Amino acid sequence: MDKIINFKIRVWRQNGPKEKGQFSEWYDSQELGMDVTTDTSFLEMLDILNEKLIENKKEPFVFDHDCREGICGMCSLYINGHPHGPAQGATTCQIYMRRFKDGDEITVEPWRSAGFPVIKDCMVDRGAFDKIMQAGGYVSVRTGAPQDANAILIPKQNADLAMDAATCIGCGCCVAACKNGSAMLFLSAKVSQLALLPQGRPEAATRAKAMLAKMDELGFGACTNTGACAAECPKQISISNIARLNREFICAKLSD
C-alpha cells in the first residue's frame, strides 16, 4: 500500500577531486515537507530533496542519472554501504523507497576509487572505462557482411555466455564494491563477450594485454577474488569471467 515514509538523509558534498569532501547535515523529510511515498523511486526522492533545498535557499545535491531504466549505469550512488543500494540485481534508479523503513537514516556517497575522481558531490568521472574500451574492447578486423554472422555456427553455451557478459552496463559498481578498487569484473565482461565468439578470436591476445595494461595505468587496483564485485553487480555478471580473462592474458603472454 502506498503511504508517506519519513526518513533522515545525508549526502556527500565535494566540490571536486582536489577538494576535501564531507557529509552534509542530516535532512529530515518531515521538516522539509518532502511527502515521499513508498512508491517513489530513489532518484525521484533525490529530485524532491533538491527542490526543497532550493526552496530553502540551499545548494542542491549533484548526482548522475540518465535513462532511469537500469540501462545506462549512470545512477552510480553508494547507499547505506551498498553500491546502487539495498537490492540485488538492480541499479539505483530501480530502487524504490519501499526498500526503507519509516524513520530510517540514509547515507548517500559517490563511488570511491582512484580511477573515478569526483566531479562534484556524488557525480564521478567514469571516463576511465571509456579509455579501457578504447585500448581494445572492439573488433577491428573484417568479419564479413552482417548476414555472414548468421552463417557462422557458434555453440549455444558460448553464445549464451557471451550474451550474459555483454549485459554489463559499465556502471562501475564492481569497482566501488571492491576493497582494492579493481575493474577486473568490468574488464573481464568486455573481454569475454568477444573472446567467446569467433569474430573476436583473431585479436584476443592483443586485446587482453592492452586492456589490462590500460586498467593498471589508470590507477585501478588488483583483483584478490573476494567476489564482492559479482555480489553487488546490478546485472549479475559472473566472476567466472575473471578466470576467463586471466586465461586469455596468460595465453597471450606465453605466445609472445
Cβ-based neighbours of 129, under 8 Å, separated by 6 or more: 170, 172, 183, 186
Instruction: Please report the pLDDT score of residue 201 as a whole number.
Output: 92
Instruction: Please report the pLDDT score of residue 173 as a whole number.
Output: 96
Cβ-based neighbours of 57, under 8 Å, separated by 6 or more: none
Q: Is the pLDDT of residue 83 over 80?
A: yes
Considering the chain, what is the average pLDDT of its residues?
94
Instruction: Please report the pLDDT score of residue 256 as a whole number.
Output: 74
Q: What average pLDDT does the segment 170-177 reach? A: 96
DSSP per position, 66-97: S-SSSSS-----EETTEET-SSTT--GGG-BG
> How buried is residue 199: exposed, middle or buried, by Cβ count under 10 Å (0-12/13-18/19+)?
middle
For 201-223, what is each residue's pLDDT tens digit? 999 999 999 999 999 999 999 99
The more confidently predicted of residues 255 and 165 is 165
Q: State the Cα–Cα distance between residues 192 and 206, nearest whole angstrom.
A: 14
In three-state secondary structure terms, 11 is: strand
Q: State the Cα–Cα distance between residues 53 and 47, nearest whole angstrom.
A: 10
Q: What average pLDDT does the segment 129-133 reach? A: 97
What pTM, to 2 d.p., does this model score? 0.93
Q: Is the pLDDT of residue 1 over 70?
A: no
Instruction: Please report the pLDDT score of residue 103 as a whole number.
Output: 97
- Residue ranges in 113-226 assigned as alpha helix (H): 127-134, 146-149, 156-166, 173-177, 184-195, 204-217
Instruction: Please report the pLDDT score of residue 143 as a whole number.
Output: 81
Q: State the Cα–Cα distance between residues 133 and 124, nearest whole angstrom.
A: 18
What cell numbers appear for 114 in the block? 582512484
Q: State the Cα–Cα distance between residues 129 and 143, nearest whole angstrom.
A: 25
Q: What average pLDDT does the segment 46-70 reach? A: 96
What is the helix (H) or strand (E) element at residue 22, kind and residue range? strand 22-23
Instruction: Please report the pLDDT score of residue 214 as a whole number.
Output: 97
Q: Is the pLDDT of residue 30 over 80?
A: yes
Q: Is the pLDDT of residue 87 over 70?
A: yes
Lowest mean pLDDT among 2-6, 25-29, 97-101, 106-110: 2-6
The count of other CB atoms within 10 Å of the CB of residue 12 is 21
The more confidently predicted of residues 203 and 142 is 203
pLDDT band at residue 20 under the 50/70/90 scheme: very high
Calculate helix-pair angle for 127-134, 184-195, nearest 10 degrees.
30
Bridge partner list, 96: 41
Q: Is the pLDDT of residue 153 over 90?
A: no
pLDDT band at residue 147 under the 50/70/90 scheme: confident
Q: Calculate what percentage of the chain has a pLDDT beyond 90.
A: 91
Q: State the Cα–Cα distance between residues 88 and 205, nearest whole angstrom.
A: 34
Place of cell 530502487: 95
The distance of Cα 173 from the centroid of its chain, to the nearest Å, equals 3
pLDDT band at residue 110 under the 50/70/90 scheme: very high
